[in-house]
Structure formats: structure tokens, C-alpha cells
Structure 1
Amino acid sequence: MTLPRSQQVDLAMTPYYHCVSRCVRRSYLCGQDALSGRSYEHRRQWVQNRIHELAGIFCIDICAYAVMSNHYHLVVHINQEKAETLTDIEVIQRWEEIHHLPALITRYLRGILRSPAEIQACKKIILLWRQRLYSLSWLMKELNFDIALQANQEDGCTGHFWEGRFKSQALLDEKALLAAMTYTDLNPVRAQAAETPETSEYTSIKKRLDSLAHAQPTPSGLWPFTGQKHIDGLPFRFMDYIEWVDWVGRQTREGKPGTIPAHLPAMIDRLSLNLTDSLKACTQLEKKGCLWIGPPEQLLSVKTYLHKQRIHGISL
């Protein structure tokens, strides 16, 4: 039975999520249509640009992404604390970047409201926008709507471009987060769309590696690697992550011939990962249609929290 989004995305359980959105039409999101010979490759740039743009507006940090031929992957960290520290003016400024402001809010910004009722109405609107700035559903809505609009205009048609709902998986601990990021960054390699991560166009890992090659900081729109749990950023070191992705990418996956070369990464020791279970999670994240990923005790906590006898999850 389909669970409501409020149960699938619950910040009381975890702020980390892996999302997938797929096209519903035969027409490609990107790539080359073998039947018509038409290329949609330029649409990959649309998606990548929109991801980075929205990352600067929403209080949702982008951990990893990969834009494929008929779908894309997104691993995110929902930063509610950041949203709640924004001033009302900052909330309005962020929302204005993607939507026209109502006249009442424009008057509020000009300081010409006198009625307490109007001021209270503005406060309610700003609170609603603040909540939307850390809503995963709103992020995906803004991303998908913009791409669908451009694609429909280019194709000269109307109707649904995406499947009705995006798929989301809750990542309950660091190992689950690592598995989802690895799965996402290796998607083009597994699909034989690229030979190595550094040649995987329109992925977060290539974006990060390109910046590293030019001795530049983390690209705008991507959450940085900090290597520490209590500092704003990913709790891994980037160099460890590179070695880890390289190692996993060398392992053969059943039904997916794409692989790359590797040696044992330091991250295995640092997170005390079980190689068999971790490799399974990094390569079969979508296979079981699970909604939660994490250690057994965390999955048990989710069942208790949701008052469920069973849940669809991958145990690490």
C-alpha cells in the first residue's frame, strides 16, 4: 500500500533522502532517441542548472545527483535549522526568485501596511513560505515543473512529462547516506554511459572532481565534504569518498556490466563497513523498492515510530 509522503519524509527520523524522478512518456529526458534519431542531450544541462539554482534558494543541501537518459537521482539533506534562522526578509527574497510576490507582500516590504490584520496575514504567508523552503516535495515540484514546461514547449505538446510521484528513500544513518551517494554517482558507469566517474557528465562527482582539479572550493549548489559529524557538511572526507567510489565501481554487479578499476579505501575502516552488505546497498538501492535504508535497530525504530508490523527497507 502506498504510504503518504508525510510518513516517507519525516525529519524526526532523518534529514537525508534519496530521490528518483522518471519520465512517463516515450520521449527521452536526455540522450539520443534511437527511433527518431533526435538528440535530447541538451536537456541534461537544463536539469543540472536547475538543481544548482534551487540549491541556492531552498534550505535543502545537495549531496549527490546524476542526470540519466530518462530519469535523475538526487541525494539531499533537509536543513530545517537553516530555514528557521532566516529572517522574514530573507524568506521573501528567496521565494521571489522563483515566484511573483503578491501585492500584500510587496506593500509589506515597502513598509506601508498599517492594518494589524494585514500584517498578520503577511506573517502567515511568510511562515508558509519558510516551511516550503525546507520541503522536499516543494523542491521536487519546482524542479520537475520547470523541466516539464521547457520539454513540452520544445516538443510542441501538452500532458504529463514525469511520473505522478517522485520516489524517495529515507537514509537512516551515515552508511545509508554513503550507499545512496555512491549508487547515484556510479549510475552512468553502471549504465555504461561513462567509463569512469571523472568522465560522467552531469553528475555531482564530476562537478566536484573538476573543481578539485582546478584547486577550487566545493562548487556552488553542492554540500561540501567536511569529514566531521557536527560541522555543517557531509561527514566524510572527499579523498576517502573518491577512493570508496572507485573501489565500489570496480566490483561487478549482476545485470550491469559497467565497472571501473580500484584499491581498498580508508573509509571502509573509518565507518567499520561490512564489505558484502555495503556493496549490496551501493548497487541494489532501487531493486527492492525500499523506502528506508539503515541498520536493523534504526529500521526497528521506524516500524515502532510508524506503528507498522512490516516496512520495506534495506538493512545495513
Structure 2
Amino acid sequence: MARQPRLTVPGYPHHVIQRGNNRQAIFLDDEDRRRWLELLREQAAIHGVAVHAYVLMGNHVHLLLTPETQDGLPRMMQAIGRLYVRGFNQRHGRTGTLWEGRYRSTLIEAERYLLACMAYIDLNPVRAGIVTAPADFPWSSHAHYVGLRQEAWLSPHALYWAMGNTPFAREQAYAKLVQGAPGSRPQAELAKAVHSRSALGNSAFIADLEEVARRPVAARRPGRPRRTVSSTDA
């Protein structure tokens, strides 16, 4: 039976995860991480995808993206995957695949979940026990949004701009939001949605999305035991 295509809808934010095969490391050093970010900047611009947030973990990456076109996101991810693996294998003297099949993607209702999703992404290194605060982790977009580093290629969403009238006000408001996010209901809902590959939003959002996509987008009732999500998978 053919796999159903991933749901990609222009103009909607998508929470994306790309994992290493069998949970293997996809970054062996900082040069790998820099190269992956270079490819993300380059390919996002080529394919018309706004990058709102990112985090590079040891064996997976999280992204928050809004594509301008139907095929922009999948083409961007395909290009990054192909180019990165080629360089990674050459650098480290290896062959074969690196990725765990296809990337995972879920659409989210911006007004309700976009800022929470940014916080979810920022908090990955904290949940994994790598750092005690998101600002201590150098390989995420958190530092940009709290004023510790400038990354001009990122595309802050309108909801972030609405957090304050000045850069300082927005940075302080966002830092406070992330600080209060752990354990909140939206964080649990985001984790569940991305692992089930289902869209996340209220009933009106889901209905509108299903009308646009002409297919079901909500999570199905589980027919088998749920997979336990570890801290390294989050």
C-alpha cells in the first residue's frame, strides 16, 4: 500500500523533525553543524521557506517553517538531506544512509501553538539534560530571539513581533514565555502531535485544513500501544 504524502500547505507553520537512522548521530562536530545550517539557509531561500526556529540535537533536528508553495518544503528537505549526507560521508569516511526515512511534519494553528512550538524547540536540549537553560545551548535559534545573537536569515513570525513594541520588549517577553513553558499543556500537545504526524489546532482550524487538503488531518484513534517518547527523541 502506497504511503500517503506528507501534508504540506502553503502559508501554514509546519513543525518538522528529521532523525538519524537508528538514532545514530547526524552531527559529529561543530563543523557538521555549521554545514547543516549553511544548507538550511541556502535551501530555504531557494525554495521559498521561512525558517522561524531550529535546534540541532545530536541525532535529530527540529524546525519551525512556513512554506510559500506546495512543494517548497519537501524540495528543501530533500536537497538538504542529499547535500548534507554527501559531504558528511566524505568528511568522515563513511558510506550509506544517514536519515531515518522521511522527515516528520505536522501543521500547527499559529495563534494557539506557534510561540509554544518555538519554546518546545528551544527546550529540547534542556529536556535531554544537555544544558540547564536554553540560552546555554549554542545550536538553536533561542539566542536570536532573546537578543544574545543576531541571525538575519531567520524569519520571525508576526506573532513574535506582536510580543512588544521594541526589540528589548519582545526579547524579554519571549524569554519569559520560554521560562514558563516546561510542563505546560501546549508542550504536551505539541509532543503528541509531532509523533503522530497529525495537525494541531482547534476544531475550526482542523475543519478548515481538511477542506483545503481534502483529506483527514487529525490524529486517528490508536489501534496499537503508543510508543514511549524518550528525552533524546523529544
Is TM-score (shorter-chain normalized) higher than 0.5?
Answer: yes
- 1:221, CA displacement in angstroms? 1.3
* Contact 1:63–1:234 under 8 Å retained in 2: no
TM-score computed with the length of structure 1 as normaliser: 0.59
- Residue in 2 aligned with 1:221? 153
How far apart, CA to CA, are the structure 1 residues paired with 2:59 and 2:216? 35
The one-letter code of the counterpart of 2:12 is: P
The one-letter code of the counterpart of 1:241 is: Y
The one-letter code of the counterpart of 1:299 is: I
The one-letter code of the counterpart of 2:198 is: L
Instruction: Extract unaligned runs of 5+ from structure 1.
Output: 31-38, 81-130, 228-232, 252-275
* Contact 1:52–1:220 under 8 Å retained in 2: no
Answer yes or no: is 1:245 the counterpart of 2:178. yes
* Contact 1:19–1:73 under 8 Å retained in 2: yes
Aligned mate of 1:298, from 205, 211, 224: 205
Equivalence map 1:172-251=2 (5 Å): 172-209=109-146, 212-213=147-148, 218-224=150-156, 226-227=158-159, 236-237=163-164, 238-239=170-171, 240-249=173-182, 251=183
- Residue in 2 aligned with 1:29? 26
- Residue in 2 aligned with 1:99? none
Q: RMSD value over aligned CA atoms?
A: 2.8
The one-letter code of the counterpart of 1:153 is: Q
Aligned mate of 2:16, from 12, 15, 19: 19
TM-aligned CA distance change 1:178 to 1:208, over 3 Å: closer
The one-letter code of the counterpart of 1:290 is: R
Query: More relative contact order in 1 or in 2 (CA 8 Å, sep 6+)?
Result: 2
The one-letter code of the counterpart of 2:48 is: C
3-state SS of paired residue (1:222) = coil
* Contact 1:68–1:188 under 8 Å retained in 2: yes
TM-aligned CA distance change 1:69 to 1:309, over 3 Å: closer
TM-aligned CA distance change 1:149 to 1:207, over 3 Å: farther
The one-letter code of the counterpart of 2:57 is: M
Answer yes or no: is 1:67 the counterpart of 2:56. yes
How far apart, CA to CA, are the structure 1 residues paired with 2:216 and 2:45? 40
* Contact 1:182–1:282 under 8 Å retained in 2: no
Instruction: Extract unaligned runs of 5+ from structure 2.
Output: 165-169, 221-234
The one-letter code of the counterpart of 1:294 is: G
- Residue in 1 aligned with 2:188? 280
Number of matched pairs: 213
| Largest Rg, 1 or 2 | 1
Aligned mate of 2:108, from 144, 148, 171: 171
How far apart, CA to CA, are the structure 1 residues paired with 2:50 and 2:214? 30
- Residue in 1 aligned with 2:35? 46
